[in-house]
Amino acid sequence: MGSDLEQMQRDMLGRIAAAADPAALEAERVAALGKQGAVTGLLKSLGAMSPEERQSEGPRIHALREAVTAAIASRKAALDGAALERRLATEQLDMTLPVAPPLQGSVHPISQVMDELAEIFADLGFSVATGPEIEDDWHNFGALEIPETHPARAMHDTFYMDRTDAEGRPMVLRTHTSPVQIRTMQAQKPPIYIIAPGRTYRSDNDATHTPMFHQVEGLVIDRGITLGHLKWTLETFLKAYFERDDVVLRLRPSYFPFTEPSVEVDVGYTLQNGRRVLGGADHWMELLGSGMVHPRVLANCGLDPDEWQGFAFGCGIDRLAMLKYGMDDLRAFYDGDLRWLRHYGFRALDVPTLSGGVGA
């Protein structure tokens, strides 16, 4: 009996190792371990044995079953691995192939504007920074000098999550891109010149507000930075973005907990046949919030306010897109209506460049 078992095990393991595909392997499994399988039969035969016989044969039969089970598992892993390799090999894409017309799809105006912003600010020496959309309380509020009791909290209509941060406070959907200021100052040494475009969230919904919207944050930290640098940077950016030299800005004193002084920036426009046309100074429209980074915010990020100064601004991207490309209802941006996308979308292969006019 003993050598029969050994012979049987050698045969079975040989067939299992030779199984060429999952179906063949499954057939071997059924033949050995299935209801009518050879190993199952041996296990059943234990019941009819004398106690002595069972004591000597039992462990051998169980060992056989274990050896066969392990061999099947390892053959299965090898076959699965090979199948994955084959799939990966056949599913390769050649990214260098030319795109076949007609091109389907278009670039959403928000993506287009983000590309334009990156292009304009890259020319001014800024790089693009990002941060998480699910933020902890400290990055979204605390480090920006908006403590829990601060009235500015109420202005943000925050979406709170069930998840909590390390201090047990609920995580939030970031209400602005300003937490990226904090993350950047923590992660890199000044001088810092970044913009941070991205999604932001507030519980708000009408023709000019959607619960998810987009902002671009700007942050400069260097030595000897003044409000004058802020004004020049915004003017240069907006002239390039709107592609006109007669863009006029008006800086109004304002308040944000994380900047001092704070300025709200209005842009001038004229009315032509009832439509707002940017440029001139007949009428004013609020465009963005900004200011000099508050010394306490610098200190919160481990920077010495006596050595480093800076400015920051935050601007709605959706608003920028509407002004430049003439949409009037923000909600249409997120309806996914193909007719709207075909009308306002941009050709997929057009990359904004300063030389071509960023919005070309």
The contact set with ligand PHE (CB under 6 A) reads: 176, 178, 256, 259, 289-291, 312-314
Please report where in the chains the tokens 């009315």 appear, as a residue.
Answer: 271
Judged by CB, which is closer to ligand PHE: 310, or 352?
A: 310
Shortest distance (Å) from residue 291 CB to ligand PHE = 5
Q: Which residue is nearest to ligand PHE (CB)?
A: 314
Judged by CB, which is closer to ligand PHE: 38, or 152?
A: 152
d(CA 278, CA 329): 18
Judged by CB, which is closer to ligand PHE: 15, or 250?
A: 250
Shortest distance (Å) from residue 336 CB to ligand PHE = 26
Shortest distance (Å) from residue 154 CB to ligand PHE = 13
Shortest distance (Å) from residue 169 CB to ligand PHE = 20
Shortest distance (Å) from residue 177 CB to ligand PHE = 7
CB 250 within 8 A of CB 265: yes
d(CA 201, CA 145): 19
Shortest distance (Å) from residue 343 CB to ligand PHE = 30
Judged by CB, which is closer to ligand PHE: 61, or 238?
A: 238
- CA angle 332-337-341, nearest 5°? 85
Q: What is the largest CA-CA distance in the chain?
A: 108
Judged by CB, which is closer to ligand PHE: 158, or 290?
A: 290
Judged by CB, which is closer to ligand PHE: 259, or 309?
A: 259
Judged by CB, which is closer to ligand PHE: 12, or 114?
A: 114
Shortest distance (Å) from residue 259 CB to ligand PHE = 5
Query: Which has the closest alpha carbon to 285: 208, 230, 337?
Result: 208
